Amino acid sequence: MTVKIRKVGNSNTLTVPNNIEPLAEEYDVFQSREGLIIYSPVGPNPFDDEEFIEKYKHQEKDLFGGYLVGKELPD
């Protein structure tokens, strides 16, 4: 299936064919160096979610009593 870019006001628009069921109402759009146009559903950022952070944070404490994060983690 092929779609054409259409000019709508100051924007270029790609239509979504009827046989594609959108999974979200909002999408981030990116263009690769090779010219691929990629639409990715917008979702919550897990790194802003306190419950996610608490569940997956590293539980090893450093010598000063704080938790190890990022580059402090041992290899």
Whether the model pTM is above 0.85 = no
Return the domain boundaries, the chain: 5-72
Task: Tell me the helices (H) and strands (E) count for the chain, helix number first.
Answer: 1, 4
Q: Is the pLDDT of residue 73 over 70?
A: no
pLDDT recorded at residue 69: 61
Q: Is the pLDDT of residue 72 over 90?
A: no
pLDDT recorded at residue 70: 58
User: What are the φ/ψ torsions at residue 58 (nearest 5 degrees)?
Assistant: -70, 130
pLDDT digits (tens, 9 = 90+) for 12-66: 999 999 999 999 999 999 999 999 999 999 988 887 888 887 787 765 555 666 6
| Kind plus residue range of the DSSP H or E element containing 38 | strand 37-41
The CA distance from 39 to 32, in Å, is: 11
